[in-house]
């Protein structure tokens, strides 16, 4: 398969095309994923999440530049926007901010919208991660706004999760409500040029102190994306977490667990597709549904008829 070969050789156009193929589920997706899969597992995936407007995109942009300049590593960026129906090269806001990277061969940016299904978005994100990984990206940054379950699912694909907060108690409360406080491996208090940043750092630190059970205490790093401040401290905190995961053996364990549950996810997804397909093709299914409507059989009995037909 030429696309897979070109991608593995590091060709950028092939990379862009491959992402479109896995995202749209077009023909060749399964073959492509099968070909590239043995070449995945090398990239380190960092999730960046936080409330709307916390400065995630700015931070991803600045951090990418920092990593390129000082460490020479290649960086793949996936900006996931669950509120946007659009996918493709880059969304407008990101395009403006990220234009500096356009000429940098070591950076690849891709924005993803929902295209109708939130669950599908998290699946597609995981596949785009594999494509970037196989293309040889050293680090993959996944930005998503932390507001709901599907975003939590997306962050589940990350080795290290950075939660971005801003000064002021309101942001901590919002983050707590969204359930993303507990998924943080590292906290970045962005916009530390604004008033109250020190207090926010202290507040988060004392919250973390209450939980003495954990053997990794997330560092809280003040950052000013706007002025390129704190970027190396943040990067070092990410590396430290990576080192902790590696040395404790958890990195391997987490990755294995993720892959195993991914298989279940894919099986369920395929089953769903198969059922939907058969529903459309077979009159029997319609008949079964009608029986439920007429209260001749109940939904459980109907599901047994349908599942029975599937494994026939």
Cβ distance to ligand GTP smaller for residue 32 or 60 = 60
Please select the residue that binds ligand GTP; options are 8, 16, 118, 194, rule is CB under 6 A: 194
CA geometry: angle 52, 57, 59, nearest 5 deg: 110
Q: Minimal CA–CA distance to 204: which of 167, 233, 160, 257?
A: 167
134 to 163, contacts with ligand GTP by CB under 6 A? 145
* Count of residues touching Mg ion (by CB under 5 A): 2
Q: Is 190 in the site for Mg ion (CB under 5 A)?
A: no
CA pseudo-torsion sign 92, 98, 100, 101: negative
Can you list the pairs that 129-132 forms with residues at least 24 positions away whose Cβ atoms lie under 8 Å? Answer: 129/43, 129/45, 129/78, 129/157, 130/22, 130/33, 130/36, 130/37, 130/40, 131/7, 131/15, 131/18, 131/19, 131/22, 131/36, 132/15, 132/19, 132/43, 132/76, 132/78, 132/108
Residues 194, 166: contact at Cβ < 8 Å? yes
Q: Is 35 in the site for ligand GTP (CB under 6 A)?
A: no
Q: Is 166 in the site for Mg ion (CB under 5 A)?
A: no
Q: How many CA atoms lie within 13 A of 88 on its CB side?
A: 6
Q: Is 110 in the site for ligand GTP (CB under 6 A)?
A: no
Of the ranges 107-115, 185-193, 250-258, 299-307, which one interacts with ligand GTP (CB under 6 A)?
185-193
Q: Is 57 in the site for Mg ion (CB under 5 A)?
A: yes
* Count of residues touching ligand GTP (by CB under 6 A): 16
Q: Which residues contact 182 (CB under 8 A, 6 or more apart)?
A: none
Q: Is 111 in the site for Mg ion (CB under 5 A)?
A: no
Q: Report what 55 binds from ligand GTP, Mg ion, none; CB cut-off 5-8 Å by kind.
A: ligand GTP
Q: Report what 289 binds from ligand GTP, Mg ion, none; CB cut-off 5-8 Å by kind.
A: none
Q: What b/e readout covers 193-212, taking b as 16+ CB neighbours within 10 angstroms?
A: eeebbeebbebbeeebeeee
Of the ranges 44-52, 55-63, 225-233, 268-276, which one interacts with Mg ion (CB under 5 A)?
55-63
Q: Report what 306 binds from Mg ion, ligand GTP, none; CB cut-off 5-8 Å by kind.
A: none
Q: Is 57 in the site for ligand GTP (CB under 6 A)?
A: yes
Q: Contact positions toward ligand GTP, by CB under 6 A?
A: 52-58, 93, 145, 190-191, 193-194, 224-226
Q: Contact positions toward Mg ion, by CB under 5 A?
A: 56-57
């Amino acid at each position: 398969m030429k696309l897979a070969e070109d991608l593995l050789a590091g060709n950028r156009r092939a990379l862009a095309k491959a992402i479109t193929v896995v995202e749209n589920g077009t023909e060749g997706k399964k073959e492509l994923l099968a070909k590239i899969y043995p070449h995945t597992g090398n990239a380190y995936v960092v999730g960046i999440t936080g409330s709307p407007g916390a400065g995630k995109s700015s931070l991803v942009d600045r951090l990418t530049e920092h990593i390129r300049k000082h460490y020479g590593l290649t960086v793949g960026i996936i900006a996931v926007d669950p509120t946007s129906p659009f996918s493709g090269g880059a969304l407008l806001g990101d395009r403006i901010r990220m234009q500096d990277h356009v000429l940098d061969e070591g950076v690849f940016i891709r924005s993803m919208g929902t295209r109708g299904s939130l669950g599908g978005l998290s699946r597609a994100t995981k596949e785009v991660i594999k494509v970037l990984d196989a293309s040889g990206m050293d680090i993959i940054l996944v930005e998503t706004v932390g507001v709901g379950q599907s975003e939590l699912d997306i962050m589940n694909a990350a080795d290290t999760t950075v939660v971005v907060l801003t000064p002021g108690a309101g942001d901590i409360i919002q983050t707590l409500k969204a359930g993303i406080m507990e998924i943080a491996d590292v906290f970045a208090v962005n916009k530390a040029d604004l008033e109250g940043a020190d207090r926010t750092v202290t507040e988060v630190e004392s919250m973390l102190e209450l939980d003495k059970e954990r053997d990794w205490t997330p560092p809280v790093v003040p950052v000013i994306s706007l002025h390129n401040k704190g970027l190396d401290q943040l990067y070092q905190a990410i590396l430290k977490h990576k080192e902790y995961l590696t040395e404790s053996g958890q990195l391997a364990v987490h990755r294995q667990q993720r892959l195993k549950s991914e298989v279940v996810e894919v099986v369920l997804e395929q089953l769903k597709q198969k059922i939907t397909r058969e529903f459309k093709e077979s009159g029997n299914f319609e008949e079964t549904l009608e029986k439920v409507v007429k209260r001749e059989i109940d939904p459980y009995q109907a599901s047994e008829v349908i599942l029975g037909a599937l494994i026939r």
